[in-house]
Structure 1
Amino acid sequence: MDVFTTKAGQVRGRRSDRDPGIVTVRGLPYAAPPFGAHRFREPRPAEPWDGVRECTAFGPVAPQSAELPGAPAWSPGDEDILTLNIWAPADGPGGLPVLVWIHGGAYIFGSSSQPDFDGTALAARGLVVVTLNYRLGFEGFGHVPADGEGPACPDNRGLLDQIAALEWVRDNIAAFGGAPERITVAGQSSGATSAACLMAADRARGLFHRAVLHSAVNACAPADQAARTTAEVAAEAGVPATRAGLLAASPQALVAASDRVVERYRQDPGSGRRHHDPALYGPVADGTFLAADPLEAAAAGAGAEVELLVCHTTEEYWLLDAVGSSAEITTNRQLTAFAEDFGLPPQLVDGYRDRLPDAPVRDVHLALYGDLLFAEYSSRLAETHARAGGRTFLSRFDRRRGGQGQRVRAWHCADIPFAFGNLHEESVHFLTGGEPGPADHELSHRMADAWAAFAAHGDPGWDALSGSGEATAVRVWRTAGEESRRTDTFRDLWGAAGLPLLPP
């Protein structure tokens, strides 16, 4: 029987449907439900239990309005949301490397139960894979003002949940064949930036030794901006922007209020940066838990002891356009206004136009914005970490598919099913362009092997960046037959502009 003993009690998993040599444990609580009297508070240990707890189904997802293909939706009243899932070789030798996955979703949606995060293929390569849920939206990242009464309601509660999960892994993963001293944290998009924040946070030090960041997103709010967001959401929810007022609003009410605030920004071209991509929530540089943005922290040497693997896609923002999350920028006047909103100099925009002479304005905007948010930020994280003395590897995902009119680009999220080895999942076919072919499977094997090798030995199979941070050693992921295509990058344009990312 696949029964494991944790510090809180025994749990029973089941064999993977895809590989009977892999056991899965799902919906295992790593912390207590963060609601009721403990809402907006730091995570607390899960209560122990008697007997054997059946852990064969994913736990509830965090409050959100999104409904993702193949994953459960949030139901108001679901409270036991701080759970994790484990995939491990059923007869593993023990002492195996562990990969802990933090899902993305703009800090407002997503879950560990998405089919593209199934850990079977990676576990078959000798890893113990852990995926986790954490608080999202206002519950996880909204600023709750102090009122001098009751316990503190810290910022960055979603990050604190992630730390609680890592502490659980440290204390319990040996029971599943994993080595607590061989932990790699991995994530994509907001999950990647979460991992970067953990690298910079003293409270997470020593909980992991390697990190994999895919498409880290350039979004870390100063405390005053987080307070302004709270005021907007509270007003939309019809409650005072106070601790008591926010506690009186249900999680469902705050999700709905947040969505209405986002929609208002989307409909207002004069609302500045948030019109273009109105992400309300994210890590807060509060000066205590998180002293600075991860890029600034990396420059000061924070997390230099962590070995780092970074990847971004070459056409990041086209996905956001395809799913209707991007503002419509189709004229030169709109493109100029976009650049002014973000403080981007005209010569940078002109450089993109020159490199894409036959592209419509929409494509120039998508290339520029994707680099601003994801590609340039991820690359700078890698190079800054290397210059600070950290061992660092950089890669780009550039696999594309289809001809004119049916093109699937190397866009945001497309690399993750390849790295997890989950191309067969129907829910990812929108990202990857349908049923995979032999060349796709071969690429997936190479990427999954690189993840496994990095988690096991700190070497994904290509050279690390130099100590000067020069990106001379970059792995480009493509399928067979695509190798001769040029990868269009615009790094030199950003270097010539000498820009900080998302300047104040």
Structure 2
Amino acid sequence: MAEHLVHTTSGTVRGTRRGDRVDYLGIPYAQPPVGPLRLKRAVPVTPWDGVLDARDYGACPVQYNNGAVVGREDCLTVNVQRPLSGDRLPVFVWIYGGGYNTGSSSDEMYRGEAFVRDGILFFSFNYRTNVLGFYDFTTYPGCDDTDSNCGLSDQILALNWIRENVEAFGGDPDRITIGGESAGGSSVINMLACPGARGTFTRAIVESGLPNCVMTHRTARENIDLFLEGMHWSTADLHRLHTEDPRLFLNGHEYVTARHQYKNPGMFLPGPVQDDLMPLRPLEAIAQGSADGIPLMIGTNMHEGTMFVHPENTGFPNSWSMIAQMLEKNDCADRLPPIAWYYHKQSQRAREAFRTAASATPAIGDARGFDTEPFIRFATDYAFEMPAIRTASAQKRHTNDVWMYRYELITAAGYETGMGASHAFELPFVFEKPDHHFSRMMLRGESANLFTRMTQTIHGDWVSFIKTGEPNSDWPRFEGADSPVRIYDRITRTERLDRRELMNIWADMHFYED
């Protein structure tokens, strides 16, 4: 690998040595999705002549970041980080989250130095988000020149590029693990289901993924109607999708995100739709064997819903009237009484446990607003816990190699803010990032020893799974809704969680599927 040159199927790239690793950053895997390729599926990059100096990360997709518009349309790049030496290395491919709204492979949290240090070849890539990646205009008059699932097509093309070039970078094609969190976890589930991704990976890790965020064209169209309102457009203005500055589309997108829960409570936005790229809904496809033989590690966080349930502009239903509307729209209004009973009971248990723990630590305040507790529990189970168990159960039909975890660590900041063990709170330990701003916020008031112990456990389990296909010898395989689960907490343990009552409450209910 003289001068750290690698000959890929797209052309030669030059890497940059940084200590004991070599980085190849910002490698194009697709043609720039601009001009006639805007709102079209990804097209393989045209091979280049000469040597591409892959020194810096590419631009992120167009999105809001702390109120500012950042990114470019020309964003479809892949990054590679590898140890300085070694061959037939185990491979980890990371897919970022961000609700399909935001995200970038260049985020400091998602850089793979800790995995490279442990002898792993690390890949990440950008895919289009929000309007340009996951809005479906294909059912509207005059939009025949647009495609559905553009962002999904980016992911599929990126995985195929990685599979084609993994050996050139020193990777083992028989040990390719894909992983992601939140929308990245959802994307991993989608890749388990999509025919176009078949054969591009051999293992999968899902952190807080949502398999039920796939929409039909009809439900997607209801949200596009809101987008038109936000843009002050009629259908006659849709031709402007090809001529306007794409940054302006974020105005319409913000309008949708502020209102869609009140129009279709419990619907995820944006997200992929069922089409030829995804002929079956993910759980249906997985149950039928779309990922036959793929080992799966999947889990959730105990208080996912605290990130999403808010008094206004809520990400999930924040009142019983919204839950009733959600159930009625999906032909299961008769399930409201048992659901209300169950979540009042669960919130009372959570209230008692939270206040007991808080009172045992006088410096920690009880900041959680318990008037929202039933809806936080509802959101956690509806969006994450119940779908994770369904996903594990579906894959269990086709391999015994399925493991489940739950992240339950509540830090001092978790008590102070009322966030608990919330969505994405495991990421600093997965990537070993104590100095990231999110990590500093989450770990405020905690000892460095806690970070070291949690990282050794969580990151260590991820590394073991990536290398061997098994996370930990003390972690039993998934058996069902009353299965042993790996609990990540101040004292990590294996515990049998009986979630059969939870699954019975949600049995036979499906949302926004027709």
Q: Same fold (TM over 0.5)?
A: yes
Paired residues of 2:425 and 2:442 also in contact (CA < 8 A): yes
Question: Is the aligned partner of 1:492 residue 2:501?
Answer: yes
User: 1:430 deviation in Å?
Assistant: 2.9
Identity %: 26
Give the corresponding residue for 1:2: 4
Task: Kindly indicate whether the alpha-carbon contact (under 8 Å) linking 2:92 and 2:176 is maintained by their aligned counterparts in 1.
Answer: yes
Pairs aligned (count): 484
Aligned to 2:344: 353
Aligned with 1:99 (options 92, 95, 116): 92
By how many angstroms is 1:463 displaced?
2.2
Once the two structures are TM-superposed, the CA of residue 89 in structure 1 deviates from its matched residue by 0.4
For 2:406, give the aligned amino acid. R
Distance across 1 between alignment mates of 2:508 and 2:371: 22
1:447 match:
458
Instruction: Write the distance in 2 (CA, Å) between the matches of 1:371 and 1:260.
Output: 27
Counterpart of 2:271? 282
Distance 1:15 1:406 in 2: 41
The letter for the 1-side match of 2:287 is A
RMSD over equivalenced CA pairs, Å = 3.1
Cα offset for 1:180? 2.5
Contact in 1 for aligned 2:484/2:497 (Cα 8 Å)? no
* C-alpha contact 1:200 1:297 (8 A) present in aligned 2: yes
CA distance in 1, matches of 2:440, 2:504: 36
Aligned in 2, Cα 1:323/1:46: closer, same or farther, shift over 3 Å?
farther
* CA drift at 1:265: 3.9
Query: SS of the residue aligned with 2:166?
Result: helix
Kindly provide the amino acid, as one letter, of the partner of residue 5 in structure 1. Answer: H
TM-score with structure 1 length normalisation? 0.86
Cα distance in 1, alignment partners of residues 436 and 252 from structure 2 = 33
Q: 1:492 to 1:54 in 2, by over 3 A?
A: same
Matched, 1:302 2:298: no
- Rounded to whole Å, the distance in 2 between the matches of 1:397 and 1:231 is 38
Matching residue's letter, 1:392: V
Q: For residues 122-181 of structure 1, what are the alpha-carbon distances to aligned partners after superposition, in whole Å with 9 as ceiling and x for unaligned?
A: 111111111111011121111132689998633111111111111111122222211233
Instruction: Report the counterpart of residue 511 of structure 2 in structure 1.
Output: 502
Cα drift, residue 327 of structure 1: 6.2
Whole-angstrom CA distance in 2 between matches of 1:184 and 1:294: 19
Match of 2:376 among 363, 366, 373: 366
| In the alignment, structure 1 residue 43 sits paired with structure 2 residue 42 | yes
Question: Is contact 2:486-2:493 (8 Å) kept?
Answer: no
CA distance in 1, matches of 2:286, 2:497: 27
Are the counterparts in 1 of residues 338 and 505 from structure 2 also a CA contact under 8 Å?
no
Which residue pairs with 1:14 in the alignment? 16
Secondary structure at the aligned position of 1:474 is classed as strand
Give the whole-Å Cα distance in 1 for the aligned partners of 2:484 and 2:496: 14
| Cα-to-partner distance string for 1:246-284 (whole Å, 9 max, x where unaligned) | 323432222221111222446xx5x3406xxx7431010
CA distance in 1, matches of 2:441, 2:303: 15
User: For 1:175 and 1:450, how far apart are their aligned partners in 2?
Assistant: 27
- Counterpart contact for 2:91–2:172, Cα < 8 Å: yes
- Tell me how far 1:341 sits from its aligned partner: 6.6
Q: Distance in 2 between matches of 1:441 and 1:324?
A: 37
Q: Are 1:143 and 1:227, in contact at CA under 8 Å, matched by a contact in 2?
A: yes
Residues 319 and 209 from structure 1, CA distance in 2 versus in 1: closer, same or farther, beyond 3 angstroms?
same
TM-score (norm 2): 0.85
Q: Tell me how far 1:405 sits from its aligned partner.
A: 3.2
Deviations 1:31-74 (A, max 9, x none): 11111111122212223334332222211111112349xxx962
Deviations 1:361-403 (A, max 9, x none): 3112101111101121112111221034452111111111118
Alignment of 1:61-210 (within 5 A): 61-67=60-66, 74-75=70-71, 78-91=72-85, 93-145=86-138, 153-210=146-203
1:30 is matched with which residue? Answer: 29
Contact in 2 for aligned 1:234/1:246 (Cα 8 Å): no
For 2:508 and 2:443, locate their aligned partners in 1 and report how far apart those are by CA, in whole Å: 33
Change (3 A) 1:43 1:362: same
Measured in 1, the distance between the counterparts of 2:258 and 2:141 equals 34
Could you tell me which residue of structure 2 aligns to residue 228 of structure 1?
A: 222
Cα separation, 2, equivalents of 1:433 and 1:500: 40
Distance between the aligned counterparts of 1:150 and 1:223, measured in 2?
Answer: 14
Look up the equivalent residue of 1:386 and give its one-letter code.
K
Q: How far does residue 328 in structure 1 lie from its aligned partner after superposition?
A: 9.4
1:252 aligns with 2:247: yes
Secondary structure at the counterpart of residue 300 of structure 2: strand
Contact 2:25 2:80 in 1 (8 A): yes
Runs of 5+ consecutive residues of structure 1 not aligned to the other structure = none
- Whether 1:463 and 2:476 are equivalent positions in the alignment is yes
| 8 A Cα contact 1:304 1:389, kept in partner | yes
One-letter identity of the residue aligned with 2:115: L
> 2:295, 2:399 within 8 Å by CA — same for their partners in 1?
no
Q: Distance in 2 between matches of 1:170 and 1:263?
A: 39
**Is the 8 Å Cα contact of residues 412 and 443 (structure 2) preserved in structure 1?**
no
Match of 1:273 in 2: 265
- Tell me the CA shift for residue 198 of structure 1: 1.3
Task: Note if contact 1:317-1:367 (Cα within 8 Å) is conserved in structure 2.
Answer: yes
Contact 2:257/2:269 (CA < 8 Å) preserved in 1? yes
**Aligned residue identity for 1:251:** P
CA–CA distance in structure 2, aligned partners of residues 138 and 476 of structure 1: 37
Structure 1 residues 106 and 5: CA distance shift in structure 2, 3 A: same
For the structure 1 residues 470 and 241, does the alpha-carbon distance in structure 2 shift closer, same or farther, using more than 3 Å as the test?
A: farther
Paired letter, 2:407: F
Deviations 1:99-122 (A, max 9, x none): 111111111111111111110001
1:497 Cα shift? 5.0
SS of structure 1 residue aligned to 2:213: coil
Equivalent residues of 1:408, 1:433 under 8 A apart: no
Q: Which amino acid aligns with 1:300?
A: Q
Structure 2 residue identity aligned to 1:282: G
Cα distance in structure 1, aligned partners of 2:324 and 2:238: 41
Matches of 2:310 and 2:217 in 1, distance apart?
32
* 1:175 match: secondary structure: coil
Choose from 363, 374, 386 the match for 2:396: 386
Task: Give the whole-Å Cα distance in 1 for the aligned partners of 2:31 and 2:310.
Answer: 38
The alignment status of 1:240 with 2:235, answered yes or no, reads: yes
Counterpart residue identity of residue 345, structure 1: L
Q: In the alignment, is the contact (CA less than 8 A) between 2:81 and 2:123 conserved in 1?
A: yes
Partners of 1:324 and 1:457 in 2: how far apart?
46
| Correspondence for 1:429 among 425, 440, 446 | 440
**Equivalent residue number for residue 292 of structure 1:** 280
Q: Distance in 1 between matches of 2:49 and 2:140?
A: 39
